[in-house]
Structure 1
Amino acid sequence: MTEVRVPTLGESVSEATVATWFKKPGDRVEADEMLCELETDKVTVEVHAPEAGTLAEIVAAEGETVGVDALLATLTQGDAAATPVADAKPASSAAPAAAQSNEVKMTDVMVPSLGESVSEATVSTWFKKVGDTVAQDEMLCELETDKVSVEVPSPVAGVLTEILAPEGATVDAKAKLAIVSEGEGAAPAPKSEAPAAAAPAAGKDVEDAPAAKKAMAEAGLSADQVTGTGRDGRIMKEDVAKAATAPKSASVSIAAAPAAAPRGASNADDASREERVKMTRLRATIAKRLKESQNTAAMLTTYNEVDMTEVMALRTQYKDQFEKKHGARLGFMSFFTKACVHALKEVPEVNAEIDGNEIVYKNYVHMGVAAGTPTGLVVPVIRNADAMSFAEIEKAIAEKGARARDGKLSMAEMQGGTFTISNGGVYGSLMSSPILNPPQSGILGMHKIQDRPMAINGQVVIRPMMYLALSYDHRIVDGKGAVTFLVRVKEALEDPRRLLMDL
């Protein structure tokens, strides 16, 4: 007797609902054949048979809520197991080739490692199509996770026989993406568009996900108003959300908005000039995390300004020697990183975080440096910045920035930051209030350096000034601490020698 249990659901997910059983007691099942689907508040999880046998008993019925590792069903083993489906397909699809050579081998293309806390990804682009010849390590497709893009290379040289996860599909960390056949006689698998197209029609007899039923009731939608994307046309929770936010028909929109008619353009006309693009996973995650930050932290921002005269003079004097010796350009970020490290030692709560009812003080500084990329904002982390020299900081920032722009950052490189610096000045921002990067309690916003008239010793002089903004979590950082931190950063930048003297 073999037990079928709830698989790992994700780092922060502790329970799921049994949505659909695709087998009934007494049915014969193959190893890795899908038995049922579980639905969490975020994703749908497929449960596969651990081995071939017969489904003896279903312990958790449809609609039941189960925890991680809960018993779902039991299997009985038998010797009459059928030939696995995975083996049957290649044999029929490549029969002519097999007659010529026994060297044709089918190799699965699996989702690569996505990172410790990432459980799923979206297939963004296929660079090859079925029937294309591919070389070993040649890129087949690109996956997009919440934070990074992941390239999927071909594990072997051969022919791309079958694509199992099309563009736009969401796949879990252990999913099969495609099949590559090795050998000159390899051929693509026969296409089966007809059965796939028929699936939605049959979906009328398929039980919709419990969460989807609830969502439809709340949104006032009927099943015929929602297009199901689940197995056999099942309506999933995300399908209801999509239908609820879809634009109404042109006739309804026009009838509902007679006031727009005098302006000479109907809603339908406006719609024809609009473009709707689905949010990328990265953009959706950015939106979610920023909103969560505002909802969970008592965020407040304090401002100051810094005279950049001394830093600019020091940089001008030594930048050529610095680059010649260290092979890195001397920028402003190393000065700001050093100044923040200096200030964090005096005001450690800005470098701390809240964990339940405890405050966790970090006796190290993992500096997050926000970087804009073509796909959105990412925050690579410079680890142990408090122990690094100016040259080491500049090299690390340059290397992380280049990897961010190329989409090469790993999940590990963007986790564990204790404080963040965001430089909106490179885009011309004069003043802004940065949003916290949870669970961090502080973020420093740099801005554009601009010449302004300043009163110095009774005289009006022109000085290169920059506004600084510190956003902080007021639950852990008091106003006095926030102001003190910003003043220490200002003092260190206006007199960089203080950094050398640790003053």
Structure 2
Amino acid sequence: MSVEVRVPTLGESVTEATVATWFKKPGDAVAVDEMLCELETDKVTVEVPSPAAGTLGEIVAAEGETVGVDALLATLSEGKGAAAAPKGKDKAPAVADPVDANAADAVDVMVPTLGESVTEATVSTWFKKVGDTVAQDEMLCELETDKVSVEVPSPAAGVLSEILAAEGSTVEASAKLAVIGGAVAADASSDAQAPSSQGNGGKDVSNAPSAEKLMADKGLSADQVQGTGRDGRIMKEDVMKAAAAPAPAATAPAPPAQTPRAPVAASDEAREERVKMTRLRQTIARRLKDAQNTAAILTTYNEVDMTEVMALRNEYKDLFLKKHGVKLGFMSFFTKACVHALREVPEVNAEIDGQEIVYKNFIHMGIAAGTPQGLVVPVIRDVDGMSFADIEKAIAEKGARARDGKLSMAEMQGGTFTISNGGVYGSLMSSPILNPPQSGILGMHKIQERPMAIGGQVVIRPMMYLALSYDHRIVDGKGAVTFLVRVKEALEDPRRLLMDL
């Protein structure tokens, strides 16, 4: 009996994805829930498990193709036993010229997941070279796409017989990256491991992906860098150290300018370094401009005296840590204060859908976080029903996952309001940009002692500027100011939160 493998639900307002990597090929036997392929949407990778045990038949959506929700990805024959592998109509004809003699066993390496509406990617780094023996699922290369760096694993064990997309080249979603010749079963991975380590300077360890990328940028090979990581693993810092010594000559010639710019003296041009924008940075630029072009963004400001919050935090932080196992920070206070204000001014928690206003009877709080890859906004769902401890635990857990690049797609979708804390970087004042389709974002800033006139006297108080950017199409100035005043009142007298005042 044939079973269809379809695109799973991708999340709120996400209508399409790109097939990133197939981990199985036609004819492979698969177990129920075994991962078949990966899809990429806006910010994360979505795994597609097998709905049944059996044999993978035809792959309908090849790697690099863009597919809609519920689209057919492949067919699966239920039951045991593997159909003939050459049945793979998508694969066999495309690998007629591999180096390996076993052409029938050759497997294409296709462009992995690129994300919603993304049609191309840039090859960042190849971790293997032609002739290297690779194990199944061993990382072959890394691509730069919208929100993340996408790793491309080997779909089978064998020999990397051909690389079709060199480092730095731009590839389309349907492009073929390489060919694995003499593909063998996964149990051959033990034989493939030893030769594959030669790409890492003879060490049987994988270098840090960030190090591999930087080596590619600097034109360095692994044998030119001394690894200081565990078992000799090359880290990013090792590459930076090596690049600072004899390597500058590799990056000195600046490529020609692609767009007209002001004249540059030859002596200055020799000291420039030209780096192509990553897919992440291009996407950030496009989406920020889209937000400005779509929403009527206006920002209102206020300031808050942090004396009471700081005193309360200092009084209970040790007991809080002992009981809940997490530190008591400022974010839980601000989150609680925003929940309190959003209940009174619900339009800040709403969104525009066509000619309708959608009011949310729940609060999913986005907490903007800066990562080495760029800005991401993990979402804490139903934060309005959470305690201080629950909020602090959620923020800590999602922050760690964001830094490690392990956030799932669902964890970054569905937010109704966002908090951005530029104060951690020393920002004193800024105007945050909306995170569409949300209608409001609160900007926190640096706490700074300033002289304040209180009761006819000048006293020194720890003050913070607050900024609320909002969509003026749905939120009036009165509502925005009321929201910010309620946040200020709740923080300057935290007891109001307990009494819902």
TM-score range, shorter chain: 0.5 to 0.7
Q: CA deviation at 1:399?
A: 2.2
1:348 — aligned with what?
Answer: 346
Query: In the TM superposition, what is the alpha-carbon distance from 1:478 to its structure 2 partner?
Result: 0.4
Q: What is aligned with 2:278? A: 280
Contact 1:148 1:411 in 2 (8 A): no
For 2:325 and 2:112, the matched residues in 1 are separated by 35
The equivalent of 1:246 in structure 2 is 259
**Aligned partners of 2:410 and 2:374: how far apart in 1?**
18
Question: What SS does the aligned partner of 1:269 have?
Answer: helix
Deviation track 1:400-422 (CA, whole Å, cap 9, x = no partner) reads 22222233334433222211111
Matched residue, 2:232:
none
1:9-88 equivalent positions in 2, closer than 5 A? 85-88=93-96
TM superposition shift of 1:365: 1.6
Distance 2:375 2:489 in 1: 29
Is the alpha carbon distance of 1:114 and 1:498 closer, same or farther for their aligned partners in structure 2, counting shifts above 3 Å? Answer: farther
Determine whether 1:94 maps to 2:85. Answer: no
Gap runs ≥5 in structure 2: 1-12, 17-57, 60-88, 197-254
Q: How many residues align?
A: 352
Q: Secondary structure at the match of 1:89?
A: coil
Query: Match for residue 497 of structure 2?
Result: 499
Q: Distance in 2 between matches of 1:165 and 1:326?
A: 51
Contact preservation (8 Å) 2:148, 2:280: yes
CA offsets per residue over residues 229-262 of structure 1, 9 Å max, x none?
xxxxxxxxxxxxx9994348xxxx87xxxxxxxx
Secondary structure of 2:419's counterpart equals: strand
Q: 1:362: which partner in 2?
A: 360
Counterparts of 2:410 and 2:143, CA distance in 1 = 17
Shift of the alpha carbon at 1:164? 3.2
Q: C-alpha distance in 2, partners of 1:328/1:127?
A: 39
Deviation track 1:457-490 (CA, whole Å, cap 9, x = no partner) reads: 2332221111100011111100100000001111
Report if aligned partners of 1:371, 1:377 keep a CA contact under 8 Å in 2: yes
TM-superposed CA distance for 1:362, in Å, is 1.5
Contact 1:301 1:433 in 2 (8 A): yes
| In structure 2, distance between residues paired with 1:118 and 1:325 | 46
SS in 2 for 1:158: strand
Tell me which amino acid in the other structure corresponds to 1:149: S
How is 1:13-412 mapped onto 2 (pairs within 5 angstroms)?
Answer: 85-90=93-98, 93-95=99-101, 105-114=105-114, 118=118, 120-173=120-173, 175-180=175-180, 181-183=182-184, 245-247=258-260, 267-412=265-410
Distance 1:461 1:373, change over 3 A: same
Which residue is equivalent to 1:476?
Answer: 474
Q: Aligned partners of 1:298, 1:135: CA distance in 2, in Å?
A: 53
Q: Distance in 1 between matches of 2:483 and 2:157?
A: 57
SS state of the match for residue 330, structure 1? Answer: coil
Distance in 1 of aligned mates of 2:118 and 2:362: 26
- Look up the equivalent residue of 2:259 and give its one-letter code: A
Measured in 2, the distance between the counterparts of 1:169 and 1:244 equals: 17
1:452 aligns with 2:453: no
C-alpha distance 325-153 of structure 1, shift in aligned 2 (>3 A): farther
The secondary structure found in structure 2 opposite 1:128 is coil
Q: 1:423 aligns with which of 398, 421, 424?
A: 421
Do 1:147 and 1:411's aligned partners in 2 also have CA atoms closer than 8 Å?
no
Contact 2:124 2:143 in 1 (8 A): yes
Partners of 2:496 and 2:158 in 1: CA distance? 62
- Assess if the C-alpha contact under 8 Å between 2:95 and 2:179 holds in 1: no
Stretches of structure 1 lacking an aligned partner (at least 5 in a row): 1-9, 14-49, 52-80, 99-103, 189-241, 255-265
Out of 430, 435, 438, the position equivalent to 1:437 is 435
**Structure 1 CA distance for aligned equivalents of residues 129 and 316 of structure 2:** 54
Corresponding residue to 1:463 among 457, 461, 464: 461
Provide the aligned C-alpha RMSD in A.
3.3
How far residue 137 of structure 1 moved from its aligned partner, in angstroms, is 3.1
Taking structure 2 as the reference length, the TM-score comes to 0.63
